[in-house]
Amino acid sequence: SAKPWIAWYMSDYRAKTLHLSFCESEAYRRLIEAYYERRGPLPMDHSALYRLTAAQDEAEREAVRRVAKEFFTENGGELHQKRCDQELETSQAYSNAQSCRANMRWHNKRIAKAKR
């Protein structure tokens, strides 16, 4: 995996999900994980969401549908999650800045070596 971890803000998650059942909370967590693994929006198709979350029985599938409806918004035929989009954007900006810094270091080392 290109990025084997995500920032997880436990108190933020808990504050927004305390009303969920155990099954719904797990469905939401798995949808978030799939969002980050895909590095973007999820498909709107329920069958695809069931596969992404490994929802096996009707209770699990209902939990996936409920949290998808509550926490995700449809846009352009895909399901978006605002906080995930923000975190992915922040992560990409950080990665780009780090890459730029590394390129500058290598460039400066080459210039210094060429001047010797």
Helix (H) or strand (E) holding 4: none
Q: What is the pLDDT of residues 5-63, one digit of tens each?
A: 778 899 999 999 999 999 999 999 999 999 999 999 999 999 999 999 999 999 999 99
Strand, helix or coil for residue 43 = strand
In degrees and rounded to multiples of 5, residue 57 shows phi and psi of -110, 175
Give the model's confidence band at 112: pLDDT under 50 very low, under 70 low, under 90 confident, else very high. low
How many Å apart are CA 84 and CA 107, to the nearest integer? 34
Strand, helix or coil for residue 75 = strand
Counting Cα atoms < 13 Å in the Cβ hemisphere of 71 gives: 26
